[in-house]
Structure formats: structure tokens, C-alpha cells
């Protein structure tokens, strides 16, 4: 039996092997990214051992003078970056941010309108997710497969008919901006509070490459901070609303859904905000260009890509219909075995019963963009994907080609300083621990 010391070292070894796996793979998960070295450093500070319940200047613990300054800086940078009136950086994830808004703006029995799961909606807005667990009555917007977006006329009709307390927009499969401006009359007529989940597109919003929800009718924005926004696994809420509405949201965060708000990841969020103020527009531009290039390449390879009528995507995400190529599960597993990491995904015609074997693949460009991939490299990625799922080439040979392509891109870009990606843990010799 391993000693306790051996168990600890084995965990460290697993972490190193995990790093090596991703270092050598082409990473296309739409909901992930890598941090800059300066942001990663924040996770190792003493912030990670401390508590700071409450707000700056109104804490329940002593010893928070530096935390108060940090949190104030973060709110100021965030409001500058997003044009928001308020920022709450305390949610520890995107879903926790969602829960905070749900607690703040709704009561059990209230009605809420939401994007459908089959149209890319997030599970926290589902009947079996946070919305349902809060006791809300939810209604799905109708979805237009051709435009890969909510159906505007049907959505207007739904909002006017149901008069929901809150109308939620934003998806986990998010190809095109939500047509919020077209819904203004319905918002005004019903008085619904408009909430926008920007988890996937926060970095594109920061880089002025998607849409500006706060100027298009949204009162509050929730998001995670580790997708197109290349920061830590944390959450954030932005607001442009009446003060009483914002105070209810803040109470939904604390004490509603967060006690200690993971100060080290909040510090990493602060570093990422500063880097986004400096580099965010270029990063967002390149991310979208790479996504469109990859979609076009895959379409030319004979893979059916959704959103074709609108140029495939205006975000980091593209979606493939692979029903005729073995299905989402088979394709995702074959690609993983070939060194290409993405995920199977429900498409609008799939039911929830098909979640483990759906029709589609969801593919994101943001992480490869982060390490310097451009359009020419994304074309190569597209050819390798087709080698696996169209031409059925040997997985080992494709894996070597993927590894060779990735080997020329080792540094994190669009950030302060230079650092090799995926090398945050250096495994020491066993003797160093004796």
C-alpha cells in the first residue's frame, strides 16, 4: 500500500501528466481557456487562505485592508472595460453568479423565460437546474434552426403572453448575438427584468466584437471568467440598473449564494481585467476570425456546419452536425484519441434523452488563439479533424501530426510577460522531498 506521502506525490504526478496531455493536444473546448502567468501566480498567494465576507469597507473579518483595495480596483477596471454601472466580482463561478441573480430578482412561483437547452441554453436555466430548484416556472423561447438564434416574433409573443418577472438570454452554444434590440417593445410593455448570461462571450464583449447587452436592454449580466475571457475559474455580475435592483442582486450573491469569495481567483480576475483592457480587442478579433476560418475549412471538407446562412459564427464557437459521420459521441471520442479535444453537443432537433449521444460537435477557437494560432493553422486543424471523422485515418498518425502542429506554439499571448503554456507545475524529483 502506498504511504500517505506517496499518495500526495502521485497526485502531483497526475497533475503533471494532465498538463502534458493538454500541452500536446489541440484544445477546442468552447468553455475553457488558459491563464496568463501573472494571473496564475495570483492563485498561489496568501489570498487563497483568507476570508473577506461582505463588501469593501463593510467586512465581517479583520485583516481585509489589502482585499478592499484589490476588490475596489477590480470593480473600477470592470466598469471601465464593460461600460457597466456596477460590478460584483464575488461569485465563484458563472453558475453561482446565475444563482445570485435568481435569488436576488425572483421568488418561488415567479415566471421566467429562458433559452431552450436544445438551442444552446445553459443547464442552470433548465427545470432540473437552478431555475427549477428555485421553484420558478420557466418557458422556453422558440428557436430558429436556420438562423441558429431565438425566433424574434415567437419570443415577443411569449414575453407578452407570459409577462415573466425575468427574461433570461444567453447560451452555452452561442454563435450569434441575441436580437435584444428587436425585443425592446416587449420588455417595456411587460416590465420584465432582462438578464443576459455572457459566460461564453464575455471576452468578445470586452473586445467589442459581439454585442453590448447593457446598452441593448439588459439590466444585469452574469458570466464565468475563463472562456473567451481568459481568466481564472471564477464569476462576475455586471449591472446597469436602478440601485434597488442592484442591491437585491448583491444580497443574492452574499449572503445568498457566496460566503468567502475565493480571494486568490478574484485577484487573478483582476490581472485578467487589466490584460483585457490592454489586449482584449485584438484577442477577440483574432478569436472570431479563427472560428470562422475553421468553420469554412470544415465545410469545405464535407462536414455539415450550422449557421451557414449567417457566415457560420460571429463568436468563438462553431457547431457541426455529424449525424452522418457516426454521431457526436463517436466523433468526439475518436478525435480525443487523435489528440484533438472538443465535445459532443445537443443540436436543436435533439432531445435531452440524447445528451450522451447527440447529433453535434461544439468547437471553440479561443484557446488555440490564445497561444498564437492564426488562420493558416486553423485550416490545418480543420484538415486534421476531417482526417479523423471523414477520412477515418489512423488515430496514432493524426495524433503525431496534431502534436507536431502544437509544438510550435508554447507561449501564452495577449498578456503581460512571456511564459510557456501548460507548464504551471514542475514535477520535482522524489529526492527533493526527502
- What whole-number distance in Å separates Cα of residue 140 and Cα of residue 155? 9
Does residue 16 lie within any of the structural domains?
A: no
Report which of 261, 301, 352, 69 is spatially closest to residue 77, judged by C-alpha positions. Answer: 69
Angle in degrees, CA 341, 387, 290, rounded to 5: 55
Does residue 255 lie within any of the structural domains?
A: yes
Question: Cell numbers of 318, please?
Answer: 462553431
Does residue 166 lie within any of the structural domains?
A: yes
- Residue 318, pLDDT score: 98
For the full predicted model, state whether its pTM sits above 0.75. Answer: yes
Domain that holds residue 108: 40-275
- What whole-number distance in Å separates Cα of residue 321 and Cα of residue 80? 39
Does residue 47 lie within any of the structural domains?
A: yes
Regarding beta strands 149-150 and 143-144, do their DSSP bridges make them parallel or antiparallel, or are they unpaired?
antiparallel
- Residue 355, pLDDT score: 74
- Residue 414, pLDDT score: 97
Does residue 3 lie within any of the structural domains?
A: no
Q: What is the mean pLDDT of each run of 10 residues along the chain (434 residues)?
A: 88 93 97 96 96 95 97 98 98 97 96 88 82 90 93 97 97 95 97 98 98 97 98 98 97 95 98 98 98 98 96 98 96 98 92 80 98 98 98 98 96 88 63 52
- What whole-number distance in Å separates Cα of residue 63 and Cα of residue 51? 9
Does residue 410 lie within any of the structural domains?
A: no
CATH of the domain at 65: 3.40.640.10
The total number of structural domains in the chain stands at 1
Does residue 261 lie within any of the structural domains?
A: yes
- Residue 420, pLDDT score: 78
- Asked whether the beta carbons of 377 and 405 are under 8 A apart, the reply is yes
- Residue 352, pLDDT score: 66
- Residue 366, pLDDT score: 98
For residue 128, what are the contacts with CB-CB under 8 A and spacing of at least 6?
none
The 3 state secondary structure assigned to 296-342 is HHHHHCCCEECCHHHCCCCCCEEEEECHHHCHHHHHHHHHHHCCEEC
Does residue 102 lie within any of the structural domains?
A: yes
Amino acid at each position: 500500500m502506498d504511504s500517505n506521502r506517496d499518495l500526495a506525490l502521485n497526485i502531483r504526478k497526475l497533475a503533471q501528466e494532465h498538463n502534458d496531455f493538454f500541452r500536446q493536444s489541440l484544445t477546442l473546448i468552447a468553455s475553457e481557456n488558459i491563464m496568463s502567468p501573472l494571473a496564475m501566480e495570483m492563485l498561489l498567494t496568501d489570498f487563497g487562505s483568507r476570508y473577506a465576507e461582505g463588501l469593501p469597507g463593510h467586512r465581517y473579518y479583520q485583516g481585509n485592508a489589502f482585499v478592499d483595495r484589490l476588490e475596489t480596483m477590480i470593480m473600477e477596471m470592470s466598469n471601465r472595460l464593460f461600460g457597466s454601472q456596477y460590478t460584483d466580482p464575488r461569485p465563484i463561478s458563472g453558475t453561482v453568479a446565475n444563482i445570485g441573480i435568481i435569488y436576488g430578482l425572483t421568488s418561488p412561483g415567479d415566471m421566467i423565460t429562458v433559452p431552450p437547452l436544445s438551442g444552446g441554453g445553459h443547464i442552470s436555466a433548465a427545470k432540473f437546474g437552478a431555475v427549477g430548484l428555485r421553484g420558478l416556472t420557466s418557458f422556453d423561447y422558440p428557436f430558429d434552426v436556420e438562423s441558429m438564434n431565438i425566433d424574434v416574433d415567437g419570443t415577443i409573443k411569449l414575453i407578452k403572453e407570459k409577462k415573466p418577472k425575468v427574461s433570461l438570454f444567453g447560451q452555452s452554444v452561442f454563435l450569434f448575438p441575441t436580437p435584444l434590440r428587436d425585443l425592446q417593445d416587449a420588455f417595456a410593455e411587460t416590465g420584465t427584468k432582462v438578464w443576459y448570461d455572457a459566460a461564453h462571450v464575455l471576452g468578445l464583449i470586452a473586445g467589442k466584437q459581439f454585442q453590448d447587452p447593457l446598452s441593448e436592454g439588459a439590466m444585469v449580466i452574469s458570466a464565468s471568467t475563463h472562456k473567451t475571457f481568459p481568466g481564472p475559474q471564477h464569476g462576475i455580475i455586471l449591472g446597469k440598473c436602478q440601485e434597488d435592483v442592484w442591491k437585491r442582486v448583491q444580497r443574492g450573491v452574499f449572503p445568498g449564494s457566496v460566503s468567502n469569495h475565493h480571494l486568490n481567483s478574484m485577484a487573478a480576475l483582476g490581472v485578467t481585467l487589466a490584460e483585457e483592457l490592454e489586449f482584449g480587442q485584438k484577442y477577440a478579433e483574432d478569436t472570431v476570425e479563427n472560428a470562422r476560418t475553421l468553420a469554412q475549412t470544415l465545410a469545405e471538407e464535407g462536414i455539415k456546419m450550422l449557421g451557414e446562412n449567417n457566415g457560420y459564427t460571429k463568436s468563438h464557437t462553431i457547431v457541426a452536425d455529424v449525424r452522418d459521420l457516426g454521431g457526436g459521441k463517436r466523433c468526439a471520442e475518436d478525435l480525443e484519441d487523435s489528440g484533438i479535444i472538443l465535445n459532443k453537443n445537443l443540436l436543436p432537433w435533439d432531445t435531452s434523452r440524447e445528451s450522451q449521444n447527440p447529433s453535434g460537435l461544439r468547437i471553440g477557437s479561443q484557446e488555440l488563439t490564445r497561444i498564437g494560432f492564426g488562420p493558416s493553422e486553423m485550416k490545418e486543424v480543420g484538415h486534421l479533424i476531417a482526417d479523423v471523422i471523414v477520412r477515418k485515418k489512423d488515430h496514432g498518425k493524426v495524433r503525431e501530426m496534431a502534436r507536431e502542429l502544437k509544438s510550435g506554439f508554447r507561449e501564452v499571448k495577449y498578456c503581460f510577460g512571456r511564459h510557456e503554456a501548460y507548464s504551471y507545475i514542475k514535477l520535482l524529483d522524489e529526492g527533493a522531498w526527502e
